[in-house]
Structure 1
Amino acid sequence: MPPLQPLSPAETPVHHELSLTRKLVLLFMFCLAQFLDAFSNSALFSAIPVLEVSMGMTENQSTWIMSAFQLTFASFLLISGRISDVYNPKTGFVGGVLGLGIISLCAGFVDDTIPLIILRALTGIASSMTIPSALALLVNVFPEPLEQARAIGTFGGCACVANVLGLMIGAMFVQWASYHWVFWFIAIVAMPTALACAFIIPPEIANAKDNLEPAAAKWKSLDLLGVTILTVALILFIFAVTSGSTDGWASAAVLVPLIVSIMMVIGFFCWETRIHVDKAAIPPRTWFYHNFSILFAVALLPLFWWFTVFIIFTTLWQNVLEWSVISSAVHMLPIGVAALIMSFTGSLSRIFSPKWIILTGMSFCMIATVLLALGGGKPDDYWPYVFPAFSLGSAGVMLTYTHTNIAIFQAAPSSMAGTVGAIFNGALQFGSAIGLASVSSIETSVEANHGGSHEYKGRAAVFWFLLAVVSILFISVSIFYDRSTDHTPQPEHGDPGHPARRSTDSDEKLNDTNMIEKADLANLPV
């Protein structure tokens, strides 16, 4: 066998150094796409009551205005991540933002329930194309660890800020104009952004595979069978847990897709272990990167906590206390302010262990959740209970979100940034879907026996349940998070010597070792 040859200069991935101004402009564009994705979901919270009246929606139909987006967004993240890793992520990013704008423009002209739900589902697919590709581009634009941590923190912070500003801007549109402007606003911002990004994003920050691998090899690397199995499984799973809160958990429409989805997930992981590790949609070694699994579990929390608070208090304030849409949105502002401040803490992960930062954030979250469980059902409860809980809880959740996001990208190689971004954002969506289904069931069952929706007991039970979830995650991070590789460089793709690689890659290591030994033997003098 001939000796192993080093990569030629044309084959060696190169990080092109961009100017600071160019980097900041690119970061702004990526953050704007993140903002639009979150805004397109949160702005409709204020519009749901108006949509129900104007379109004559049932409760189930109004639920699907939100759930259709969530279902397709979470389900198509994986294939989006794979496309971003295998092909040029710039194409996926620009296409996703442009698609979001065009679909939102069309949705603004719709006045019927079913077409609107379909367009919301298509919006979720377009949005799913933007997040993994934006993260893949961001990791290439900011390869230096400290800059990357700050950029990822800022990128993540835009989602929470958009959630709160979405409530506010959506409320203003609903009260002073029309709910149609919620969709048109997204289109007005998204389409020029997409056109600008087509020229601003430089081709040299694209994944090196875009130039190195032939088209046939890249097509095989997508693992279309594996991606299809998992995508269908996720669609069925999210459909089941979303329908369970409205149709009842014992109905066939819930149990059948739930059971089928679980079987398909098992089949997916069996399939992934049978194909070549580099051709798998989610290589099995991914779950054994350092702290990857525990960080995935922590990622289930942030949107679960935020969305629970949004839904509980927007319905309480508007339907029970009869506050205006604008007043309800204004009272939510502490959530956005606290999250915005904490989004700039990314550099702390280079000074302290992410473990201690995440645990600190969870501690804040637990204190806030206790306050919300103890009080919040009366107008007089806002300042002694709700305001400090919103401020402290949102700050804690944002700390947890930001540093989990940073840590999970440091655990895996940059060549998998798109897939890792898809997994992380998928965990966020799964947490919110499963959590909100559980929350709805708990609130409904408690209120049925304790005074109905005008009493706070059902909502208090929800927050005690949420406290239990946060406590379990706190204990899990305390036990299972390993700090031995804190502040070490990201592992290189296929680097078996990095601590982030586990014994599950033993076969791959053995193959690499045999190749090296054969190469050395070929170089021995005869």
Structure 2
Amino acid sequence: MVREFPGATPVILLFLFCLAQFLDSFNNSALFSAIPALEVSMGMTESQSTWIISGFQLTFASFLLISGRISDVYNPKTAFVGGVSGLAVISLCAGFVNDTIPLIVLRALTGIASSMTIPSALTLLVNVFPDPLEQARAIGLFGGCGCVANVLGLMIGAMFVEWTSYHFVFWFVTIVATPAALACVFIIPPEISNTKGNLEPAAAKWKSLDLLGITILTAALILFIFAVTSGSTDGWASVMVLVPLIISILMVIGFFCWETIIPADKAAIPPRTWFYHNFSVLFGVALFPFLWWSTVFSIFTTLWQNVFEWSAISSAVHMLPIGVAAFAISFTGPLSRMFSPKWIILTGLSFCMVATVLLALGGGKSEEYWPYIFPAFFVGSAGAMLAYTHTNIAIFQAAPSSMAGTVGAIFNGALQFGSAIGLAGVSSIETSVEAKHGGSHEYNGRAATFWFLFAIMSIEFISVSIFYDRSTDHRPQPKHGDPGNPARRSTDSDEKINDTIIEKADLADLPV
């Protein structure tokens, strides 16, 4: 079942949401191709160029939660349009900047604008596609656009750098985001907004944001990601790493203590959230997919361009199997309604484990691309996309639709969080091994990072095998405040299913 809205079809709305996802991923990946040109043009040091990427990731991950709360409490259309518009304006300004510090600041602001688009887009998407099967398809395509943008971003960024200027990497975002923002204003109908939230008075909405809790957690995430990002360049024992790391951990503990004190309906992340069925284990799986893709991108773009001396375009072309496999798998969303997400996620992790072994054993020479790297890219990207897509679908089915913005923020925060922490660990392992075994022109350090990834995936595989509970697969989403206790639901399951069907029918019949 798909809700119909005047002046817009669900396909057009889905296209707009996917376009925002594409721009967010493009904003990050395209800069990988432009970093060498930026270093030469602005005289950047290696640590400064790292912050061109890390500045975006830091603010994007840190501001997701407040964006999700705004989307749940207020009209998500406003947050979505504001985020896309912000991307257009900030990217336009970034294209004219020729100094390092202002560019890093603008990249951080870009991360904030991007964080406004994802939870709001997911809130809108869940409301447009309330039927579980249609919702699974839509979420799969939404995620697939982000994965394809990662590879196309490398390609488009390389073409701009080779044929025009790195400035067009920023201006491309403005060229696409400006008409998209205008289209969103007129095409996205206000009826998609959270009905419950619209009925609340302004004062109640403001209190529901939990500004104190969000501020504590946002500051903690900024300090934590800053610490782990700086650890690979400044050293893990440095004051610049240890102090923010310790403070961030204490602030996270303080945040969860605060969330248990205030009323659940006023909390940014109500404690019951973690007790929705399989929510915690799905959160753990979400830490992995972006880490796998980011590690592959960072290792092979550096290897091919700095060691093999390939051009940026040639490196991007050799990455195409990753995007092709990811996009193909993005259409597998309906499988989650036929099979348990547990088996699909385990299959995806198995594919990634096989691919990671191939990358660890081969890849040190250019002639090893076809026997090792090419099949590993296909199999590994397909596996990561399976895990990503069906974890995304399952986590939205585990929690009430009224929490879609918050759940989207938690899920996407886990993706970025896992990538940031994992890349810091990967970089440290690679550097330490290379220092003892031949330097950066040898493959030993890179192989060690892939064995590290293999160990992480093995832990993920075991955790999902043991802790994922299949008893609630294909059940209706829990209502707001219901932790989804299977014992409670089994006694009156028919009544709850009928209530859910009636509620959805009522929603479909609302005048629009």
TM, length-normalised to structure 1 = 0.91
- Equivalents in 2 of 1:279, 1:93: separation in Å? 23
Select which of 410, 413, 417 maps to 1:426. Answer: 413
Task: Tell me, yes or no, if structure 1 residue 435 matches structure 2 residue 407.
Answer: no
Residue in structure 1 matching 2:310, options 320, 323, 346: 323
Q: For the Cα contact (< 8 Å) 1:343–1:402, is it kept in 2?
A: yes
1:123 corresponds to which residue? 110
Pair 1:311 & 2:298 matched = yes
Contact persistence 1:46–1:170 (CA under 8 A): yes
Matching residue within 73, 76, 101 for 2:88: 101
Q: Which moved more, 1:434-443 or 1:200-209?
A: 200-209
**Secondary structure of the corresponding residue to residue 484 of structure 1:** helix
1:369 aligns with 2:388: no
Distance 1:408 1:402 in 2: 10
How far does the alpha carbon of each residue in 1:436-478 deviate from its partner, in whole angstroms, 9 at most, with x for none? 0001000000000000000000000000000000110000000
Q: Aligned AA for 2:342?
A: K
- 1:356 and 2:343 correspond: yes
Answer yes or no: is the 8 Å Cα contact 1:238–1:433 preserved in 2: yes
Deviation per residue, 1:58-87 (Å, 9 max, x gap): 010000000000000000000000000000
Q: CA-atom RMSD, angstroms?
A: 1.3
2:143 equivalent to 1:156: yes
**Residue of structure 2 aligned with 1:469, choices 456, 461, 466:** 456
CA distance in 2, matches of 1:357, 1:121: 36
Query: 1 CA distance for matches of 2:484 and 2:356?
Result: 42
Q: Over residues 302-336 of structure 1, what are the superposed CA-to-partner deviations in whole Å (9 max), with x where a residue is unaligned? A: 11000000000000000000001110000000000
Q: What SS does the corresponding residue of 1:281 show, helix, strand or coil? A: coil
Change (3 A) 1:20 1:371: farther
Does the Cα contact within 8 Å between 2:275 and 2:483 map onto a contact in 1? no
Q: What code does the residue aligned with 1:297 have?
A: G
Query: 1:77 matched to which residue of 2?
Result: 64
Distance 1:370 1:451 in 2: 22
- The amino acid of 2:349's aligned partner reads M
| Bigger radius of gyration among the two | 1
Secondary structure of 1:101's counterpart equals: helix
Matched, 1:27 2:14: yes
Aligned residue in 2 for 1:142: 129
SS at match of 1:344: helix
Secondary structure at the counterpart of residue 472 of structure 2:
coil
Residue in structure 2 matched with residue 505 of structure 1 by the alignment: none
Alpha-carbon contact 2:6-2:189 (below 8 Å) kept: no
The answer to whether the Cα contact below 8 Å between 1:245 and 1:437 also exists between their aligned partners in 2 is: yes
Q: CA deviation at 1:492?
A: 1.3
* Pairing 1:279-358 to 2, within 5 Å after superposition: 279-358=266-345
Count of residues in correspondence between the two structures: 488
Deviation at 1:191, TM superposition (A): 1.2
Aligned to 1:3: none
Instruction: Report the counterpart of residue 75 of structure 2 in structure 1.
Output: 88
- Structure 1 Cα separation of the partners of residues 246 and 421 of structure 2: 15
Which residue identity does 1:70 align to in structure 2? Q
Amino acid at match of 2:320: L
2:391 to 404, 421, 432: 404
Distance (whole Å) between structure 2 residues aligned to residue 273 and residue 125 of structure 1: 28
Q: Is the 8 A contact 1:288 1:501 kept in 2?
A: no
Per the TM alignment, residue 499 of structure 1 is displaced from its structure 2 partner at its CA by 3.3
CA contact (8 A) 1:16 1:205 kept: no
SS state of the match for residue 231, structure 1? helix
Note the C-alpha offset of 1:21.
Answer: 6.5
TM-score normalised by L of structure 2: 0.94
Q: Does 1:278 align with 2:265?
A: yes
* 8 A contact 1:290–1:500 mirrored in 2: no
* Counterpart residue number, 1:173: 160
One-letter amino acid of the structure 1 residue matched with residue 137 of structure 2: R
Alignment partner, residue 480 of structure 1: 467
Query: Aligned to 1:143, what secondary structure does the other structure show?
Result: coil
Code of the aligned partner of 1:166: G
- Identify the residue that residue 480 of structure 2 maps to in structure 1: 493
Q: Offset at 1:153?
A: 0.4
Identity value in percent: 83
2:40 aligns with one of 35, 38, 53: 53
1:43 matched to which residue of 2?
A: 30
Aligned to 2:505: none
Q: Does 1:446 align with 2:441?
A: no
Contact 2:213–2:255 under 8 Å retained in 1: yes
Partners of 1:18 and 1:460 in 2: how far apart? 52
Asked if the contact 1:290/1:501 (under 8 Å) is kept, the reply is: no
Structure 2: 5+ residue stretches without partners = 490-512
Q: Which moved more, 1:402-411 or 1:490-499?
A: 490-499
Shift of 1:493: 1.1
* Matched letter for residue 292 of structure 1: F
1:184 paired with 2:171, answer yes
How far 1:496 sits from its partner (Å)?
5.8
Q: Is the 8 A contact 1:411 1:500 kept in 2?
A: no
Q: CA deviation at 1:17?
A: 3.3
Contact 2:273 2:483 in 1 (8 A): no
Q: Tell me the distance in 2 between the aligned counterparts of 1:45 and 1:488.
A: 42
Match of 1:387?
Answer: 374
Classify the secondary structure of the residue corresponding to 2:364.
coil
Q: Deviations over 1:172-213 (max 9, x none)?
A: 000000000000000000011011101101111100134210
